[in-house]
Amino acid sequence: MTRLSAVTIAVLALTPAYARDIRASKVFLDARQVEKGYDYVIVGGGTAGLTVADRLTEDGKTTVLVVEFGVLSDASSITTVAGGFSGMGDSRYMYDINSVPQINLRNRTTRVMAGKVVGGSSAVNAMMTVRGTAEDYDRWGSFFSSNSHWSWKGLLPYFQRALNFVPPNPDVTASANITYDTSFWGNTSGVYAAWPSYQFPSTTAQMNAFSGIPGVPFVRDSGSGEPGVYWYPTFMDPKTVLRSYAKTGHYENVKTRTNYHVITSSKVTKIILDGTTATGVTFVAAPASGQPAANAPQTTVSARKEVILAAGAVHSPQILQVSGIGPRSVLTAAKITTVVDLPGVGQNFQDHPIAQGSFQFGRFPVKPSADEARSNRTFATWSSQVWAANRTGPNSIATGNAAAWLSFPVISTRSAQLADDLAAQNHAAYLPTGTDATVVAGYKAQMLSYAAALRGNKTAFFNNVLSGGSASGITVDLHPLSRGTVNINPADPVNREPLVDYRALANPLDVAIITDILKFTRRYYMNNPATKDWSPRELSPGANTQTDAQWATYITDTLSPSEFHPAGTCAMMPRELGGVVDEELKVYGVKNLRVVDASIFPTLPGANTCQTVYAVAEKAADLIRYGVPT
Ligand SMILES: Cc1cc2nc3c(=O)[nH]c(=O)nc-3n(C[C@H](O)[C@H](O)[C@H](O)COP(=O)(O)OP(=O)(O)OC[C@H]3O[C@@H](n4cnc5c(N)ncnc54)[C@H](O)[C@@H]3O)c2cc1C
Ligand SMILES: *[C@@H]1O[C@H](CO)[C@@H](O)[C@H](O)[C@H]1NC(C)=O
Ligand SMILES: *[C@@H]1O[C@H](CO)[C@@H](O)[C@H](O)[C@H]1NC(C)=O
Ligand SMILES: *[C@@H]1O[C@H](CO)[C@@H](O)[C@H](O)[C@H]1NC(C)=O
Ligand SMILES: *[C@@H]1O[C@H](CO)[C@@H](O)[C@H](O)[C@H]1NC(C)=O
Ligand SMILES: *[C@@H]1O[C@H](CO)[C@@H](O)[C@H](O)[C@H]1NC(C)=O
Ligand SMILES: *[C@@H]1O[C@H](CO)[C@@H](O)[C@H](O)[C@H]1NC(C)=O
């Protein structure tokens, strides 16, 4: 085998046995060997990790090792666009984690979804390409100061760098009435935001039907930072009509760089600290399924400049905690020596709850609808033919491209009352007993910001995805008030998955907000002049659910606490507000250690999270290379 041939990137897709041989003997001096040290060691080859690795290695000199638990895969379950769900359905590429029983949801547990493969969750997600509103990102900086560079203005250039926007083809743009504005986008990234070559006319009709409700804004482009009803693209390469994600856009396209190494099938077990300075990591070979054996041999790699933690919101707090960085009480219970008592690690956990209303239209005025793809053989045959011949037609649609993202005053008449109630709460009462005072103070600051958001029209709370089919899309609460925890399992903190507790509905005002979200969904389907001719039916909760108490029961019985958007567990907040990282994403109290992934979001954006992760990672790369913008 020739050394350093065309393939100079060290992708070490090693079997565990082979890995042990190399590391034990250290005789293979080719590019496939992990060096002793790198400038940067990145923990996790997911959405953020690969983005940062790509940018840091652009200069051809800076050396980077990415350590990834999962494998490198080209499986069709990952690459296929049609329907949007095949990636998350392939258990080979997903972690196997269930939440702790949710005490406010009759002790139901929830599957914790996260990608375990090169590309991370960007390899398995539903490909919805959306960003939050301007106020969502201004809120992040507001916890620091009124002129923080974490703001809509400070992030827009990174949203533009993060994705390569390719407009929909003119025919479908015209026939479906798609609007877009390229000024909110860029066209240089290796990750694409593109469009299917087909839309069901019924999708446009569902969108237009929001005009039956006064006050609903229609927004020209999904990237404009405004709430409303709008079209949005898909994480898809328009040439291949396959998923576009961190692996294709930040690794495969740059794999000739000799300074960019990735080792797969390797679980990072610890950050090595010299005093309070991060100097490297240890990792062990990971099996294809399950966890490494407890006694698996450890490999050590050092980071000359920094360790960058990008293991996602479920695993980044675990890695900090097992390394001695976290709330002292949690570490002590797991018999881990506290190096830095940082109470926020693993707290402030957020995800978007899904409210399970179900509605159906008996008929659509414009055909074909998405139902046709299932029920009409002629249509299905045509779909298969155009896909086979040209990769066009309905099979180029993932989960769809249209949705409503609405502020609270647009959907509810009681926004002022709920805002007053939220501001007046004893906020500490809704966090776990014993939560550190700094974390409580941060929660209070977030809730006051949310109270203002509830009164205004610049933050979206309601989200309904339009499928173009007769059955309703999902209805999502975009700004839950409840906060959960992701802490190590004291029984075996390193080798067992962390304890994931959404603490869904811990803040009782979430019930009121979700009630109004579902009432608005009911209004759109059942009490809307624009849909009344479509024979709407309410399958659930049904006409028997009317009073607040009935809604509360329904929500308790049916709420799902996760839209697979875990965030917030290593929050970028001031330390006195329970923060874990500062505005440079540096971990408080530790030198040479940053976190770059969805865990740093102090609060969720009112949107699916992937695009925001890419933008955060692009900004982080500049912070690492060039320091704070002046
Ligand atoms: C099923 C699903 C559907 C989704 N749908 C959408 C959608 O349609 N649109 C959207 O915008 N967002 C969606 N999301 C959310 C979005 O994909 C994520 O928010 C985003 O990809 C998270 O990026 P990240 O970098 O924080 O983490 P990830 O991309 O998950 O990366 C973390 C990486 O770290 C690795 N890792 C973890 N622990 C270790 C360890 N100890 N050692 C080594 N490596 C480790 C993981 O294997 C993974 O590769 C979805 C997510 C899921 C799971
Ligand atoms: C949920 O579990 C807790 C703890 O085990 C228990 O006290 C409680 O009664 C359970 N609630 C329900 C509704 O089963
Ligand atoms: C598209 O928009 C035009 C102008 O607003 C309108 O006349 C037309 O009916 C719309 N078409 C569809 C399919 O909604
Ligand atoms: C990319 O964007 C620039 C700036 O908006 C524009 O001038 C250029 O034509 C675009 N290129 C492509 C291929 O779309
Ligand atoms: C928010 O929008 C609603 C509906 O259009 C409107 O009634 C209300 O006045 C708006 N509120 C603010 C603060 O702009
Ligand atoms: C089935 O689909 C074909 C092709 O789109 C269409 O012409 C036909 O009207 C559809 N049949 C029904 C019953 O909707
Ligand atoms: C595929 O595209 C070509 C070129 O546009 C077209 O002529 C052909 O009819 C298409 N095939 C099918 C099955 O639609």
Q: Could you say which ligand is closest to the alpha carbon of residue 197?
A: 7
Centroid of ligand 6 to alpha carbon of 473 (angstroms): 23
pLDDT per position as a tens digit, 574-596: 999 999 999 999 999 999 999 99
pTM assigned to the model: 0.95
Centroid of ligand 5 to alpha carbon of 423 (angstroms): 20
Strand partners, 228: 405
Instruction: Name all domains of the chain by residue range, CATH numbers in brackets.
Output: 1-26 (no CATH), 76-247+349-626 (3.30.560.10)
Q: Predicted confidence band at 255 (pLDDT cuts at 50, 70, 90)?
A: confident
Q: Which atom of ligand 3 is nearest to the CA of 177?
A: 1
Q: Which two tokens stand for residue 239?
A: 């040439």
Residue 456 CB burial class (10 angstroms; 0-12, 13-18, ≥19): middle
Q: Could you say which ligand is closest to the alpha carbon of residue 393?
A: 7
Query: What local confidence, expressed as pLDDT, does residue 407 receive?
Result: 98
Q: Which two tokens stand for residue 1?
A: 């085998």
Confirm whether residue 268 is marked as ligand binding: yes
Element (H, E) at 309: strand 299-309
Give dist(CA 193, CA 232) in Å, integer.
9
Is 335 close to ligand 2, i.e. is its CB under 6 Å away?
Answer: no
493 vs 238, 467, 490, CA distance in Å?
43, 42, 5
Is 103 close to ligand 2, i.e. is its CB under 6 Å away?
Answer: yes
Q: Which amino acid is at 11?
A: V
Is 390 close to ligand 7, i.e. is its CB under 6 Å away?
Answer: yes
Centroid of ligand 1 to alpha carbon of 610 (angstroms): 8
Q: Could you say which ligand is closest to the alpha carbon of residue 161?
A: 4
Query: What is the pLDDT of the chain when averaged over all its residues?
Result: 93
Give dist(CA 619, CA 596) in Å, integer.
10
pLDDT per position as a tens digit, 415-459: 999 999 999 999 999 999 999 999 999 999 999 999 999 999 999
Give yes or no for residue 252 having a pLDDT over 60.
Answer: yes
pLDDT per position as a tens digit, 323-353: 999 999 999 999 999 999 999 999 999 999 9
Q: Predicted confidence band at 45 (pLDDT cuts at 50, 70, 90)?
A: very high
Give yes or no for residue 34 having a pLDDT over 50.
Answer: yes
Query: What local confidence, expressed as pLDDT, does residue 17 receive?
Result: 34
Locate all alpha helices (DSSP H) within 36-88, ordered by sequence. Answer: 47-57, 76-79
Is 173 close to ligand 3, i.e. is its CB under 6 Å away?
Answer: no
Centroid of ligand 7 to alpha carbon of 379 (angstroms): 16
Higher pLDDT, 476 or 373: 476
Query: What local confidence, expressed as pLDDT, does residue 473 receive?
Result: 66
Centroid of ligand 6 to alpha carbon of 288 (angstroms): 45
pLDDT (average), residues 198-206 = 96
pLDDT per position as a tens digit, 65-109: 999 999 999 999 999 999 999 999 999 999 999 999 999 999 999
Confirm whether residue 166 is marked as ligand binding: no
Q: Predicted confidence band at 22 (pLDDT cuts at 50, 70, 90)?
A: very low
What is the longest distance spanned by two Cα atoms in the chain? 75
Element (H, E) at 260: strand 260-263
Q: Which atom of ligand 3 is nearest to the CA of 204?
A: 14
Compute the residue count for the chain.
630
Give dist(CA 236, CA 125) in Å, integer.
12
Centroid of ligand 6 to alpha carbon of 81 (angstroms): 24
Contact (CB, 8 A) for 44 and 262: no
Residue 74 CB burial class (10 angstroms; 0-12, 13-18, ≥19): exposed
Query: What local confidence, expressed as pLDDT, does residue 565 receive?
Result: 98
Query: What local confidence, expressed as pLDDT, does residue 364 receive?
Result: 85
Query: What local confidence, expressed as pLDDT, does residue 374 receive?
Result: 81
Give dist(CA 443, CA 598) in Å, integer.
18
Q: Predicted confidence band at 354 (pLDDT cuts at 50, 70, 90)?
A: very high
